[in-house]
């Protein structure tokens, strides 16, 4: 049975159809990436999965519980780390976790040891009696991850978990997540604007205009873009492009002195090209497609487009 | 939604409200200083001019129970403020995705605000000897349920407003518009039975009036002959129990309204 099972999920806001019939499933233990431009329906879908928003139609279940009928069971099955911080800054790290433990009804005998274990895991045990107000962005994030795991969820939702953090902190958080995955048999549902984070995923779904436009492993998504990208630098771009069209059946794009084109297997293609090409070559560049290329091709936008707008939109939604 | 979830929501949310109050020393100091300033300034300013309000009761003694009610009012209405600040700080999401019932959360906010209001009222009791009001165990025992009840009502009102407000500034503005008339038309500074008719009508429609009078009767006794004690409605002077019954009915309505208003948000 799938850990997350989504069938024809639809959500309308008045006349606006934000999510238009989305279906997918996520297996237990999978790291699932949910990518899409801002306004594509990402947050709306997550809010429905987290029981914060009722679907207009369709259904979704998590851990076997329906998100509408089994709301509280779903809530117990999921841990959440939102884009915007959701900590009480007046309270200490430990008090924040204690509130969570009470709210989720964690039995008294497990509470203290569980809080200690998780604070130790995210490296905040020494700061447990400090006000969260004194924490850095990275520390707050780590505390939120610890809190999200406190009640032993089956699925951890991470909505832009490292947005606005420096690369070192991001790496540290991913190290933690790696350990957690290994120890807890956790399913992770992730949204991100960072390509390197998307690479951590077992599978990725890309949503655009409220519909899923692609869903596959990162490797296969990249294969589908049309193979490797070769860029040649030559004194006369147009001449080189003409020869490429004539002899190799590719569709080159010329920018001044550079010519780029896709081939299915770049490494095998290049030696033959170098041997037989009639034009002088100044430089050759071979690049594997990245998830950014996949994203660009499917949505027409860069993966990093408009981070700030995403943050502002979420803040306004409450 | 089961009773356990309502119950757990109530106590966990209330627990946090009290914890927050205790951790913010500036809030404690401010919550005591403000009523004391009122008492000192108005009391000293008018005491000699006005003289005795009733046999053996001067203006400061008359005002003192009203000042306690005022502190309760401000602190209870801030239950709504905490809904708004939780939303702004993002913590509201942590509460909303927890397996807690919405009704439980609202009750928790109200009970938490009532507990904080009670703490403040008890802190204000410390100055009773200074203003020449007799303080004995009986007063404290009767004061506790009245303060709790009054603050539950007002926190219900606060949460209704808070559920519709998206910013602290907006909430504070609505609060100012509400608090001042509610305080001035509650008989804190003068007996409501001696007001001009239009003011008397507004005062008697104000729930705080009955809270103020109930607290005053606890401190100064319930002799209906004494000026300024007991609120007369349609020729009937209300006793402590009747006043609290009225406040309770209103409280149930406002808390229910708060639960509906709060649950509207997804």
> Do residues A31 and A202 touch, judged by C-beta distance below 8 A?
yes
The answer to whether position A300 is within a domain reads: no
Q: Is the pTM of this model over 0.95?
A: no
Does a structural domain hold residue B199? yes
Is a pLDDT exceeding 50 seen at residue A317? no
How far is A220 from A223, CA to CA, in rounded Å? 5
- Regarding whether A123 and A29 lie in a shared domain, the answer is yes
Instruction: Please write the tens of the pLDDT for every residue from A117-166.
Output: 999 888 899 999 999 999 998 899 899 999 999 999 999 999 888 877 78
How far is the C-alpha of A315 from the C-alpha of A43, rounded, in Å? 12
Contacts of B265 in chain A (CB under 8 A): 318
Q: Is residue B75 part of a domain?
A: yes
Q: Is residue A299 part of a domain?
A: no
Chain B neighbors of A75, CB-CB under 8 A? 97-99
Phi/psi for A199 (5° steps) reads -65, -25
Q: Are residues A279 and A264 in the same domain?
A: yes
- ipTM of the shown complex: 0.84
Q: Which residue has the higher pLDDT, B9 or A302?
A: B9
Range of the domain at B216: 3-261
Cβ atoms within 10 Å, residue A80? 24
Per-residue confidence (pLDDT) for residue A204, from 0 to 100: 94
Flag if A51 and B16 touch (Cβ within 8 Å): no
User: Where residue A283 sits, what CATH number does that domain have?
Assistant: 3.30.70
pLDDT at A301 over 80: no
Please state the rounded mean pLDDT for residues A69-92: 92
Q: How high is the pLDDT of residue B189?
A: 79
Write out chain B residues lying below 8 Å of A102, CB-based: 8, 11-12, 15
Provide the 10 A C-beta neighbour count for residue B51: 9
In a domain, B73, yes or no: yes
Interface residue A69 vs chain B (CB under 8 A): no
CATH number, residue A33: 3.40.50.300
Do A156 and A261 lie in a common domain? no
Per-residue pLDDT, A64: 94
Judged by DSSP in three states, B110 sits in helix
**What is the C-alpha separation between B29 and B143, in angstroms, rounded?**
22
Write down the pLDDT at residue B226.
Answer: 56
Q: How far apart are CA A137 and CA B6, in angstroms?
A: 34
Tell me what pLDDT residue A318 has. 34
Q: What is the pLDDT of residue B229?
A: 62
Number of domains, chain A:
2
Q: Is A103 near chain B, with CB under 8 Å?
A: yes
User: In this structure, are A203 and A240 located in the same domain?
Assistant: no
- What are A12's strand-pairing partners? A17
Interchain contact B22–A (C-beta under 8 A): no
The verdict on a CB contact (< 8 Å) between A99 and B15 is yes
How many folded domains does chain B comprise?
1
Q: Would B142 be classed as within a structural domain? A: yes
State residue B10's pLDDT score: 93
Residue of chain B whose Cα is closest to the Cα of A83: B90
Assess whether A61 and A111 both reside in one domain: yes
Which pLDDT tens digits describe chain B residue by residue (266 residues)? 567 778 889 999 999 999 998 888 787 788 788 888 877 887 777 766 666 666 667 778 888 888 888 888 888 888 888 999 999 888 999 999 999 988 999 999 999 999 999 988 888 888 888 777 778 888 889 899 999 989 988 999 999 999 988 888 989 898 888 888 888 888 887 787 778 888 888 888 888 888 888 888 888 876 655 545 667 766 667 777 888 888 888 888 999 999 999 887 65
- Shared domain for A133 and A269, answered yes or no, is no
Q: How far apart (Å, rounded) are the C-alpha atoms in residues A19 and A24? A: 13
> Both A197 and A235 in a single domain?
no
Give the Cα separation of A304 and A236 in Å (integer). Answer: 34
Residue found by looking up tokens 């699925």 in the block: A155
Q: Is B266 inside any structural domain?
A: no
Q: Is residue B9 part of a domain?
A: yes
Domain that holds residue A95: 4-221
* CA–CA separation, A115 and A106 (whole Å): 11
Which residues in chain A are closer than 8 Å to B15, comparing Cβ atoms? 99, 102
Provide the token pair at A130: 């400090």
Q: Single out the residue in A162, A188, A221 at which a domain terminates.
A: A221
A53 vs B: CB within 8 A: yes
Cα four-point dihedral sign B120, B123, B125, B129: negative
d(CA B187, CA B193): 9
CA gap A309, B105 in Å, rounded: 31
Residue A306 forms part of a structural domain:
no
| Alpha-carbon gap, residue A263 to A247, rounded angstroms | 13
The rounded distance, in Å, linking the Cα atoms of A306 and B2 is: 43
Q: Evaluate whether residue A305 is within a structural domain.
A: no
- The token pair that represents A192 in the structure block: 């991100």
In a domain, A106, yes or no: yes
Question: Is residue A156 domain-shared with residue A81, that is, in the same domain?
Answer: yes
**Distance between CA B35 and CA A158 in Å, rounded?**
46
Distance CA B216, CA A124 (A): 51
Q: What is the mean pLDDT of residues A295-303?
A: 76
Q: For residue A10, is pLDDT > 70?
A: yes
Please give the pLDDT value at position B198.
86
- Residue A62 and residue A76: Cα distance in Å, rounded? 10
């Amino acid at each position: 049975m799938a850990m997350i099972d989504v069938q024809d999920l639809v959500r309308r806001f008045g006349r606006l159809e934000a999510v238009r019939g989305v279906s997918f499933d996520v297996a237990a233990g999978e790291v699932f990436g949910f990518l899409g431009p801002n306004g594509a329906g990402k947050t709306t879908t997550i809010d429905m999965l987290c029981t914060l928003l009722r679907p207009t139609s369709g259904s979704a279940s998590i851990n076997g519980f329906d998100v509408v009928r089994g709301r509280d069971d779903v809530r117990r099955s999921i841990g959440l780390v939102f884009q915007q911080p959701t900590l009480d800054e007046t309270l200490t790290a430990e008090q924040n976790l204690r509130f969570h433990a009470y709210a989720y009804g964690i039995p008294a005998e497990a509470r203290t040891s569980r809080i200690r274990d998780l604070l130790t895991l995210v490296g905040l045990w020494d700061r447990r009696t400090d006000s969260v107000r004194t924490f850095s962005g990275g520390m707050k994030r780590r505390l939120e991850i610890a809190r999200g795991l406190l009640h032993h969820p089956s699925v951890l939702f991470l909505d832009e978990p490292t947005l606005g953090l420096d690369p070192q902190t991001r790496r540290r958080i991913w190290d933690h997540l790696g350990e957690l995955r290994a120890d807890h048999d956790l399913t992770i549902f992730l949204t991100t604007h960072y390509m390197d984070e998307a690479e951590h995923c077992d599978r990725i779904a890309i949503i655009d205009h409220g519909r899923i436009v692609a869903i596959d492993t990162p490797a296969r998504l990249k294969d589908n873009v049309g193979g490797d990208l070769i860029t040649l630098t030559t004194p006369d771009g147009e001449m080189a492009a003409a020869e490429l069209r004539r002899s190799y059946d590719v569709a080159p794009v010329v920018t001044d002195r550079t010519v780029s084109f896709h081939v299915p297997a770049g490494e095998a293609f290049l030696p033959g090209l170098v041997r037989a090409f009639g034009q002088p070559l100044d430089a050759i560049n071979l690049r594997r497609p990245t998830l950014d290329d996949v994203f660009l091709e499917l949505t027409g936008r860069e993966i990093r487009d408009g981070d700030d707008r995403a943050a502002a939109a979420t803040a306004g939604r409450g | 939604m089961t009773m356990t979830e309502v119950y757990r929501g109530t106590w966990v949310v209330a627990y946090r409200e009290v914890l927050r109050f205790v951790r913010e020393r500036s809030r404690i100091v401010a919550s005591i200083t403000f009523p004391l300033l009122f008492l000192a300034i108005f009391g000293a300013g008018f005491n000699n001019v006005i003289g005795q309000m009733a046999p053996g009761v001067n203006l400061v003694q008359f005002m003192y129970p009203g000042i306690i009610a005022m502190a309760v009012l401000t602190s209870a209405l801030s239950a709504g403020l905490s809904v708004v600040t939780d939303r702004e700080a993002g913590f509201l999401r942590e509460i909303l995705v927890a397996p807690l019932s919405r009704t439980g959360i609202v009750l928790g906010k109200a009970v938490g605000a009532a507990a904080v209001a009670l703490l403040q009222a008890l802190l204000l009791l410390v100055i009773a000897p200074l203003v020449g009001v007799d303080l004995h165990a009986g007063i404290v025992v009767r004061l506790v349920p009245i303060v709790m009840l009054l603050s539950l009502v007002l926190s219900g009102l606060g949460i209704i407003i808070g559920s519709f407000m998206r910013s602290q500034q907006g909430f504070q503005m609505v609060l100012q518009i509400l608090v001042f008339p509610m305080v001035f038309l509650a008989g804190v500074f003068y007996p409501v039975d001696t007001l001009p008719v239009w003011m008397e009508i507004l005062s008697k429609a104000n729930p705080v009036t009955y809270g103020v009078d109930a607290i005053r009767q606890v401190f100064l006794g319930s002799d209906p002959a004494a000026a300024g004690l007991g609120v007369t409605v349609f020729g009937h002077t209300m006793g402590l129990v009747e006043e609290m019954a009225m406040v309770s009915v209103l409280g149930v309505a406002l808390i229910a309204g708060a639960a509906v208003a709060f649950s509207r948000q997804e």
